[in-house]
Structure 1
Amino acid sequence: MGISTHHQMDFTNRIRKDDERPAIISDGEILSYGRLRDRIDHYADVLAFTGAEAGTTVALSLERGPDAVAAMLATVETGAAFVWLDGAQPAARNRTVLADSGAVCLVTDAGGRGDGLVRDLAGPDLAVVQIDGTATAAVERLGRRRGPRAVPEDTAVIVYTSGSTGTPKGIVQRRVNIDEFTRWFSAEVGMTERSKVLQWAQFVYDASYVEIFSAIGTGATLVMPPPAVKADVHLVLDWIRRHGVTHIQTAPSLYRALFDALTATDGHATLDALRGITIAGEALSPALAQEARRVFPNADLFNMYGPAECILATYHRITENPGDSRTVPIGIPLPGREVLLCHEDGTLVPDGEIGEIRVRSRFLVHGYLHRPEETERAFLADPHGEPGFRVYRTGDLAARRPDGTLVFEGRIDDQVKIRGVRVELGEIEVAVAELPGVLHAAVVPVDGGTGDRQLCAYVQPREPGALSPAELRSALAARLPHAMVPARFVLIDAMPLTVSGKVDKRTLRATAQDPATADRTPDARPAELSATQRKVAGIWSNVLGVAADSPEADFFALGGDSLNVPRVRRAVAETFGLDVPLAAFYEYPGIEQLARHLDELLAADRPAAVTGSAPAPLR
């Protein structure tokens, strides 16, 4: 079955069957560009058979890196758009994304996690394609969904991000935008056919498409660790060294974790093979920039800024020591983009004053799927009336220095970044307020103690004593991704209000900075710890640097996050001789919960626990 090339993105045409250069290095496999082309062609034929074509959407959820990339590119070659579903996210959220995107087909793994996704998500009108790990894709079921086109025909991908109304919103990205950006990006950061690009971002985030499409478009090699490795910076560091990675792009918090892992293993070692380092997704501190210059002595360093609506908007090459500067500039606009700093009414602010960043460009997304009013508010007509140009209101604030570079100055609303992930506080507040027994809820960002941001939820119960932080966290974990579940919960008798009757978040922020408020419930009394609980508490104290002295203590409330979980997992393996899956530490976040789970595993007569032998290496 032939696939039309009319809707292909430019770089896919350059992937040839006779090219034996390595395209993807993954766990146990090196896939050449020629073999990648074979998989793309096969998967595209299967997808076209299910009805994938321009204007339709295909949902992807694959564990293996090479198949994930091949399925993305195959979808592109059918003319369809793709949307990524994360099997680790709550099924309810994936069902929301699937319904909103109007996907005609679900592509997932055969067996295991893939079968679970099919059971959870696939209605009778949805086609199902399963890939069995041997580059074989089979149509398990044909769908009946044949309605109006769900997206514009030139759509490449729909990226779902947090929405202020309480549900995730789909950003409709155009193919020409990705083509234009990846050509500029790969050239600017020095990618060549000899480069090795780390693929670290989760597929649900737009950063992953920058990694994948810039590398494949350049003919470079994409280094793709499996999910368990991506979650542990110590293992990521090993992959960077072992495979000679030359280019990385990620958020400051992950670079910080990477530097900490490097220091823990090799003191003041450097990573000399790196040639291009891109830092984006959060504000970059001068101290972290200075450390990046030391760790990557041979690399060009870039601080970049931009929301998914324009992929990226500005860039700054870090060529000198930032010294005592308050912040690192986000730089100057990318080619094809103009940055306007505006008052609320759209008039320009003078240089040196703070204004909202508005991006004028031909390379903006279509808008938000099925949200015409929100799209109209965010995307404005071009003031010069130039065809193809629009202006995107980012909601971010910046000031322009005398040399023309921009400095980031925060937000004008309740959107925050948690480890590079865009989070609308309103979506979390809606989810908390909808839980049984909750009267009022408010969520504020706080300093996690290591420079990373955390979320603190203030909850007013309908009845005193009717709720607990553990119950609230468990209920939210079933509805929201990990990054959106607050690290702290504080139960209060009454929500502070401003004179206008709105929640007084300034007062809540001031209170939330006090660690004593973490998961506070009235009249809480510490209880005696069991032997297993004492060991768990000791591990947490070593990892987090704080005391954990109560069975009710919660790992995330004490400052833990997804970057600390792998360290706890390794310590549990060393202490108890148990190889515990990462997911268990999210499922059992309390000392009492985790200790009970470990006791159950130890009582199950697992060989490592009975013989006392060393646990198998964690992968």
Structure 2
Amino acid sequence: MGITIHQRVLEQAERTPRAVALRGPGGAYTYAELAQRVRALAHGLAAALPPGARVAIHRPKSIDAIVDLLACLCAGCAYVPLDAASPMPRTRFVLEDSGADALVTDEHTAALWSQAPDALERLALVVMPDGHGPAHPRRRTHAALAEPAPATEAVRPVAAEALAFLLYTSGSTGTPKGVAITHGNASAFVEWALEAFDVGPGDTVAVHAPLHFDLPVFDLYVSLGRGATVCPADEATLKFPEAFLRWLRSERVSVLYAVPSALLALLKRSTVAKGGLGDLRLLLYAGEEFPVPRLRELRALLRPDARVFNLYGPVETNVVTCCEVGPAELALARVPIGTAVSQARLVLVDEARAVIAPERTGVEGELLVSGPSVSPGYWRRDDLTAAAREVVNVAGESLRCHRTGDFAAWGPGGRLDFRGRRDGMVKSRGYRIDLGEIESVLADAPGVAELAAVGVPHPERTTEVVAFVVARDGSARDEVPLLARCRERLPPYMVPAHVYWRDALPHTTTGKVDRVQLVAWAQEGARR
């Protein structure tokens, strides 16, 4: 491991102390002010907690929440970002499952813990504003914890294998599972991204995704490590596409990393075409496939020299492939996920677990990943970690890999074509169906702004495929031409049984389409 992600930010503060580091509704911090606040809070955390302690951060995305994250790392602690929008039972589960030693809140979230004061009893430190939340014997305010501190307070050293943060994702059992990210994991990704993307002074980088998601690792540590200005978009702004569009323009955001669903919501608004997105010069997307017809529309709204990249990688590995989206890619039915990034080794295996050589183009297999950005595993879940690991032999070399559960195929030049997730593959009437293929057919239909296909349990056919569609402004809601289009381009067993029109698709807290909710709607007869 080279320099840590937090030390890189502090060194940037020495180079550009007067430049604006963070800007949000609550004000702005220069790099010098950011470093001072981070060091002061880290000093207080280090005095109260041992190295390696886990600190749960429970507050909405803001410039001060970002200070908290950096302070945890500088104190030699690991942070556990909690979803401020989650119900308390889920939040409490994450707090307890992570074994957090401390909890940091603000005026928005402190009062929520009055519903579960007993969950705080074992904590060594609780940071809450005065007049908010339950009593606690080791309760401090932010201000009290951060005073006084030397301006050059030393940063606790950390090893590459030390935990940097825990990111909780949905689990198949219905309870979240924590993905452990080490300092070595985070540094490997950041070092690659710094080489791959020209982000630096003069750039305004949006933080679109919530802090408990993995996309902000780029937004924060790549951007602040290079002298850019980072602007977190608050949830009130993101709730309405029109408000988000106004925010992008008013902040003159030049770099945006988001899931396609968020960008599709912008395209649905007729006002986006009037002013375009001319300040954006670098657009990264990940987490979902972007329908090519909509991607073409989005590209037309960007300035001619803007660059667009499709990134791929689960939380457990961070980004492992990258594809720049140019005219050639926009002419394809589906944009490839690209070639391996420098810190990743990629392997495809067939159903017999035999390695598929890159020369065997078009042959589908499960994608396995090895390299320094791969997480050591799931927090306190050795069973899940073991199930997600596989040792494969590639040209005489044994690689310990993470099983992504995603399917891909080699294309020309070592590029990978995404063939769907395991949860994106269904069987109906004995046929294996890729829901993404159905979505690609419907995405190009006139009047379609956003859509998703899902497999729904059916008493007679095991699984029935249905589609949920959001219409573009002013377009008619008629399923007949859509089904006719499917019949024209797909075999009979792949034609959706129903098309349901909605004003909007449901999304998870990380911005992806909530397919679990769509299945529930379909089972209810889409009576919503």
Which of 13, 21, 24 is the matching residue for 1:23?
21
Going from structure 1 to structure 2, the CA distance change for 1:116 and 1:544 (only over 3 Å counts) comes to farther
> Quick check: 2:452–2:468 contact (8 Å CA) kept in 1?
no
The answer for the alignment partner of 1:279 in structure 2 is: 285
Q: Which residue of 2 aligns with 1:45?
A: 43
Name the amino acid aligned to 2:282: G
Greater displacement, 11-20 / 163-172: 11-20
Relative distance call for 1:542 and 1:336 in structure 2 (3 A) is closer
Question: Could you say which residue in structure 2 is the equivalent of 1:576?
Answer: none
1:174 is matched with which residue?
Answer: 182
Quote how far apart the aligned CAs of 1:453 are: 2.7
Residues 419-443 of structure 1 show CA distances to partners (whole Å, capped at 9, x for unaligned) of xxxxxxxxxxxxxxxxxxxxxxxxx
Match of 2:66 among 41, 65, 69: 69
Q: Is the 8 A contact 2:58 2:82 kept in 1?
A: yes
Q: Secondary structure at the match of 1:452?
A: strand
Question: Which residue is 1:82 aligned to?
Answer: 79
Is contact 2:451-2:468 (8 Å) kept? no
After superposition, residues 541-556 of structure 1 pair within 5 angstroms as none
Q: Distance in 2 between matches of 1:131 and 1:186?
A: 37
User: 1:204: how far off?
Assistant: 1.6
- Output the CA distance in 2 between the equivalents of 1:546 and 1:124: 54
**What is the correspondence of 1:69-468 to structure 2 with a 5 Å cutoff?**
69-109=66-106, 111-117=107-113, 119-120=115-116, 122-126=119-123, 127-130=125-128, 136-138=142-144, 154-261=162-269, 264-265=270-271, 267-297=273-303, 298-322=305-329, 324-349=331-356, 350-381=360-391, 383=393, 390-411=400-421, 413-414=422-423, 450-453=449-452
Q: CA RMSD in A?
A: 3.6
Evaluate the alpha carbon distance shift between residue 265 and residue 414 of structure 1 in structure 2; reply closer, same or farther with a 3 A threshold. Answer: closer
Q: Secondary structure at the match of 1:89?
A: coil
Specify the SS of the correspondent of 1:414.
helix
CA distance, structure 2, for counterparts of residue 247 and residue 453 of structure 1 = 27
Any idea what SS the aligned residue of 1:163 has?
Answer: coil
Determine helix, strand or coil for the equivalent of 1:35: helix
CA separation of 1:450/1:120 partners in 2, compared to 1, >3 Å: closer, same or farther?
farther
- Find the residue that maps to 1:40 and give its secondary structure: helix
Checking the alignment, whether the CA contact within 8 Å between 1:189 and 1:300 is kept in structure 2 is no
Q: Give, in angstroms, the shift of residue 173 of structure 1.
A: 0.7
Contact 2:285 2:310 survives alignment (8 Å): yes
Number of corresponding residues: 441
SS in structure 1 of the partner of residue 100 of structure 2: coil
Whether the 8 Å contact between 1:251 and 1:279 is mirrored in structure 2 is yes
> Matches of 1:8 and 1:23 in 2, distance apart?
15
Task: Name the amino acid aligned to 1:360.
Answer: S
Q: 1: distance between equivalents of 2:501 and 2:411?
A: 39
Distance 1:452-1:158 versus aligned 2 partners, 3 A rule: farther
Shift in CA distance, 557/45, structure 1 to aligned 2, threshold 3 Å = farther
Distance 1:286-1:24 versus aligned 2 partners, 3 A rule: same
- Name the aligned partner's letter for residue 459 of structure 2: P
Question: Distance between the aligned counterparts of 2:6 and 2:394, measured in 1?
Answer: 30
Q: CA deviation at 1:123?
A: 2.4
Greater RCO structure (CA 8 Å; 6+ sep): 2
Equivalent residue letter for 1:47: L
* 1:496 correspondence with 2:459: yes
Q: Which runs of 5+ in 2 are unaligned?
A: 133-140, 147-158, 426-434, 443-447, 479-499, 509-520, 522-528
CA separation of 1:104/1:167 partners in 2, compared to 1, >3 Å: closer, same or farther?
A: same
Q: 1:545 to 1:208 in 2, by over 3 A?
A: farther
Q: How does 1:557-572 map to 2 (within 5 A)?
A: 558=502, 560-561=504-505
Q: Specify the SS of the correspondent of 1:560.
A: coil
CA displacement at 1:34 relative to structure 2: 0.9
The letter of the residue matching 1:453 is A
**Cα offset for 1:388?**
11
Paired with 2:178 and 2:325, the residues of 1 have a C-alpha distance of: 33
Secondary structure at the counterpart of residue 309 of structure 1: coil
How far the C-alpha of 1:181 sits from its partner, in A, is: 1.3
1:351·1:400 contact (CA, 8 Å) conserved in 2?
yes
- 8 Å Cα contact 2:292/2:332 also seen in 1: yes
The Cα shift of 1:215 comes to 1.1
The 1:31/1:543 distance shift into structure 2, 3 A limit, reads: farther
C-alpha deviation, 1:115, in angstroms: 2.3
Aligned to 1:483: none
CA distance change for structure 1 residues 364 and 131 in 2, over 3 Å: closer, same or farther? farther
Contact 2:59 2:109 in 1 (8 A): no
Deviation at 1:9, TM superposition (A): 4.1
Q: How does 1:468-617 map to 2 (within 5 A)?
A: 496=459, 504=462, 506=463, 508-509=464-465, 512-513=466-467, 558=502, 560-561=504-505
Specify the code of the residue in structure 1 equivalent to 2:423: D
CA distance 1:557–1:159, change in 2 (3 Å): farther
Cα separation, 2, equivalents of 1:118 and 1:382: 50
Distance 2:50 2:62 in 1: 22
Paired residue type of 1:107: V
Pick closer, same or farther for the CA change 1:161–1:330 going to 2, 3 Å: same
Higher Rg of the two aligned structures: 1
Please tell me whether the aligned partners of residues 9 and 175 of structure 1 are also in contact (alpha carbons under 8 angstroms). no
Note closer, same or farther for the CA distance 1:232–1:183 as it changes in structure 2 (3 Å cut): farther
Q: Which has the higher strand share?
A: 2
Matched residue, 1:480: none
d(CA) in 2 for partners of 1:303, 1:267: 22
Q: Which residue of 2 aligns with 1:11?
A: 8
Q: TM-score under structure 1 normalisation? A: 0.64
2:149 is matched with none
Q: Is the 8 A contact 2:184 2:372 kept in 1?
A: no
Offset of 1:286 from its aligned partner? 1.9
| Residue matched to 1:438 | none
Are residue 35 (structure 1) and residue 44 (structure 2) matched? no
Q: What SS does the aligned partner of 2:264 have? A: helix
* TM-aligned CA deviation for residue 152 of structure 1: 9.7
Give distance in 1, aligned partners of 2:34 and 2:302. 31
CA distance in 2, matches of 1:216, 1:514: 39
Q: Secondary structure in 2 aligned to 1:310?
A: coil
Partners of 1:541 and 1:259 lie apart in 2 by: 9
Which segments of 5 or more consecutive residues in structure 1 lack a partner in the other structure?
141-150, 417-443, 459-494, 499-503, 516-539, 548-555, 565-588, 590-619
